[in-house]
Chain A
Amino acid sequence: MVRIGAFLVGLFFSGWLLVSFLLGAVAYVTDPPAATVEHEFHLTPKHVSFSFDGPLGKYDQAQLQRGFQVFKEVCSACHSLKFVAFRDLAALGYSEAEVKAIAKQWAIKAPSVDPATGEAATRDPVPADHFPKPFANNVAAAAANNNAIPPDLSLMTKARHHGSAYIYSLLTGFQAQPAELLKEFPDAKTPEGLHYNPYFPNLNLAMAPPLTAEGQVTYGDGTKPTVDQMSQDVSAFLTWTAEPKLENRRRAGLATIIFLLIATGLAYMSYQNIWADKKKAAA
């Protein structure tokens, strides 16, 4: 009984799947799916190398500081960094006093309450504060940015495939729409207020090119602030904001694996030792 029932159920599912396959195959051949502009013109991120590439790579503190400067002077006008606190900047090599000064002088003030009236007020941020958000809420963010809400950047490099290279490619990828794109897809002209960028999934994004000219920021360490350099630096900084424990993780991993290799070697020898008499008896 079980086998007859199973046979019928199997026949039904397998048979109907093959019917669906045939119908799908016929449709695929007679009416092949049309090419889309995203499919043809979207690019995977450029290749770019960072100090933290590879299994044992580390952050370059000077680069993180430069990237932080780009974030502070350019990105932070629109983008929040809500999971990162000023105190975390100590990992970039800033002293306690420097962190305090950075927090105090931050252009956006922290929300607070007026102790006298209880009304909403603002105060200077302190190291324990997370980076204050540039907009009071999403409505304000959308209103100020052509209806697009600038996303929080804390986790951006982990929230995109090949995140570090993606940020770099996006920042350096703004360009005029290629002529062949418009020839092939006349309806795909970049709408008013958007900007063409082949590294963005749907090719047009609301953010205007944020890094446009060499020298947009002035680096304290004398590094030449080309658009390419600034883009790399801010990508490195945002990799750190997304994965601040990367170096601890890799260090702990190396120690763990060395320990496990030794322990497993010993376990193997003990296994062989215990089985020796059985194997000898058999062989």
Chain B
Amino acid sequence: MSFPWAEQYTPKHPLMQWVDEKLPVPRLVYNAVGAGYPVPRNLNYFWNFGVLAGLALMIQIVTGIIMAMHYGANDLVAFSTVEHTMRDVNAGWLMRYAHANGASFFFIVVYLHIFRGLYFGSYKAPREMVWLLGLVIFLLMMATAFMGYVLPWGQMSYWGAKVITGLFGAIPVVGEPIQTWLLGGFAPGNASLNRFFSLHFLLPFVIAGVIILHIWALHIPGSSNPTGVEVKGPQDTVPFHPYYTAKDGFGAGIFLIAFSILLFFAPNFLGHPDNYIEANPLSTPAHIVPEWYFWPFYAILRAFTVDFFFIPAKLLGVLAMFASILLLFFLPWLDTSPVRSGRYRPTFRKFWWILLADVAVLGYCGGAPAAEPFVMISQVAAAYYFAHFLIILPLISRFEKPLPLPGSITEAVLAKYGKTDGETVAVPAE
């Protein structure tokens, strides 16, 4: 699909005409991320993060494949093969630090991408499927990241695996058999390490596949934009190439600079020192914490300290942690306001900022030791998190009076540059 005014692929070179007849892959690319895809002309920098997430995935796949060439997925040698990569493999230190920090940057850009979607109502009709597939990617990323963190077989790898698979142990009756089945034993061991490696290698390609679906679903209605007003005509759009390829090129440069600063000058800043200690089943670390990108969910997990009658607190925590992500799948039907963009929703906008602060607080508490006052703070923050999505958002969409929307994207762009509304009518299509 595309808008009727989308540019058409017309190969001039006979070779390209020949290819186009036999297998129109260049045409597919042209229509997907080339000049054949008309995009709203008013996207701001927050629309860069989808492409940056794709770039982060590619960095992960390339560095990961090279690291796999030097890695031994066996609990006796895993830790030392990683050290071998760091010390004796040509540029091995670069591959490993790029992979470890690349995971963090993947999550940074994806979180920005998600919060952009939350602010500008990108999850709303007709783009619900884009949002749902994005959440599937997010879940796959979390699984991949978790299993990847186990592979170096350090102390946090081992105890993280034990804690996270232990979550399944909280399920009544079948919990413990499930945990044993997942680990391939009663505790993390060689069987767990091997299957985690196998799945960690597989899942990024599954993610790549779902990304194709995500982009496909996006191209049915076309990209959203900061006003939330749908495209009305050719004057509202520009071709993706060269306009947004150029902008994404600049965005990628900024991304790579930030990435390089961490990668080359503070590569262990986001890691935990305990993971440089080889896994030891007999010695439990003082504080078991996951990687920073799981901290908000870890805080929700630990916030439940009181049994609810016959439901143990641990099971409540596990249910709440899964619910905190699953509820996002219902978001398009919880927020019923017909106005998409937070720009024109004064009440919604305030609560969006509270949510952002709330998730930051949850993240901080998730990284802190499970002691007071962090548990109490995370209880209040987690209560807000659920209330925000399940109670406050539906109420806001019901009672909020949105601000007047611009008549079209072009009108909003012209208003930004100080032209009056009257003139917009006369603006010809570009």
Complex CA–CA separation, A245 to B97 (angstroms): 12
Sorted nearest first, the 9 A-B pairs with minimum C-beta distance are: A253-B264, A10-B390, A264-B253, A17-B383, A159-B276, A21-B379, A14-B383, A13-B386, A267-B250
Report, as a range, how many residues of chain A touch the other chain: 35 or more
Q: Are B304 and A275 within 8 A (Cβ)?
A: no
Q: Are B323 and A282 within 8 A (Cβ)?
A: no
Complex CA–CA separation, A283 to B415 (angstroms): 9
Among the listed stretches B10-18, B135-143, B327-335, which one makes contact with chain A, having 4 or more residues with CB under 8 Å of it? B327-335
Q: Are A88 and B334 within 8 A (Cβ)?
A: no
Q: Are B303 and A17 within 8 A (Cβ)?
A: yes
Q: Are B93 and A248 within 8 A (Cβ)?
A: yes
The distance from the CB of B14 to the nearest CB of chain A, in whole angstroms, is 29
Q: Are A2 and B333 also in contact (CB < 8 A) when A18-B383, A21-B380, A260-B253 are?
A: yes
A250 within 8 A of B: yes
Complex CA–CA separation, A274 to B240 (angstroms): 12
A-B contact pairs, 17 of them (CB 8 A): A2-B333, A6-B391, A7-B390, A9-B386, A13-B390, A16-B304, A16-B308, A17-B382, A24-B379, A83-B83, A151-B277, A160-B273, A245-B93, A257-B260, A270-B249, A278-B41, A281-B427
Instruction: Determine the chain B residues whose CB is within 8 A of the CB of A257 once the complex forms.
Output: 257, 260-261, 264
Contact of B379 among A6, A17, A151, A274 (CB under 8 A): A17
A201 within 8 A of B: yes
Interface SS, A side: helix
Q: Which A residues have a C-beta under 8 Å from some C-beta of B?
A: 2-3, 6-7, 9-11, 13-21, 23-25, 28, 33, 55, 82-83, 88, 151, 154-155, 158-161, 163, 201, 242, 244-245, 248-250, 252-254, 256-257, 260-261, 263-264, 267-268, 270-271, 274-275, 277-279, 281-283
A-B contact count (CB 8 A): 174
Q: Are B308 and A33 within 8 A (Cβ)?
A: no
The distance from the CB of A138 to the nearest CB of chain B, in whole angstroms, is 10
Residue of A nearest to B333 (CB): A2
B376 within 8 A of A: yes
Looking at A15, A17, A24, A158, the one whose CB has the most chain B CB atoms below 10 A away is A17
Residue of B nearest to A28 (CB): B372
The contact string, 1 if C-beta is below 8 Å from chain A, for chain B 230-271, is 000000001000110011011011101100110111011000
Chain B residues within 8 Å of chain A by Cβ, number = 70
Contact of B253 among A7, A159, A267 (CB under 8 A): A267
Complex CA–CA separation, A14 to B183 (angstroms): 33
Complex CA–CA separation, A28 to B374 (angstroms): 12
Instruction: Determine the chain A residues whose CB is within 8 A of the CB of B371 once the complex forms.
Output: 33
Contact of A14 among B261, B313, B386 (CB under 8 A): B386
Known contacts A83-B83, A250-B264, A256-B260; 7 additional CB pairs below 8 A are A6-B391, A16-B306, A155-B276, A158-B268, A267-B250, A268-B253, A271-B246
Residue of B nearest to A202 (CB): B286
Instruction: Determine the chain B residues whose CB is within 8 A of the CB of A256 once the complex forms.
Output: 260, 264
Complex CA–CA separation, A252 to B98 (angstroms): 13
Interface SS, B side: helix
Q: Are B257 and A260 within 8 A (Cβ)?
A: yes
Complex CA–CA separation, A9 to B93 (angstroms): 47
The distance from the CB of A19 to the nearest CB of chain B, in whole angstroms, is 7
Complex CA–CA separation, A25 to B265 (angstroms): 42
Q: Are A268 and B304 also in contact (CB < 8 A) when A3-B334, A16-B316, A21-B379 are?
A: no
Q: Are B93 and A17 within 8 A (Cβ)?
A: no
Q: Are A11 and B94 within 8 A (Cβ)?
A: no
B401 within 8 A of A: no
Complex CA–CA separation, A18 to B257 (angstroms): 43
Instruction: Determine the chain A residues whose CB is within 8 A of the CB of B372 once the complex forms.
Output: 24, 28, 33
Among residues 311 to 366 in chain B, which have CB atoms less than 8 Å away from a CB atom of chain A? Answer: 313, 316, 320, 323, 327, 330, 333-334, 336
Q: Are A275 and B246 within 8 A (Cβ)?
A: yes
Complex CA–CA separation, A145 to B389 (angstroms): 57
Contact of B394 among A6, A163, A201 (CB under 8 A): A6
The contact string, 1 if C-beta is below 8 Å from chain A, for chain B 381-395, is 011101101110010
Looking at A10, A158, A160, A275, the one whose CB has the most chain B CB atoms below 10 A away is A10
Q: Are A20 and B303 within 8 A (Cβ)?
A: yes
Contact of B249 among A18, A250, A267 (CB under 8 A): A267
Residue of B nearest to A160 (CB): B273
Residue of A nearest to B418 (CB): A283
Residue of A nearest to B414 (CB): A282
Instruction: Determine the chain A residues whose CB is within 8 A of the CB of B67 once the complex forms.
Output: none
The distance from the CB of B405 to the nearest CB of chain A, in whole angstroms, is 19
The distance from the CB of A97 to the nearest CB of chain B, in whole angstroms, is 22
Instruction: Determine the chain A residues whose CB is within 8 A of the CB of B87 once the complex forms.
Output: 83, 88, 244-245
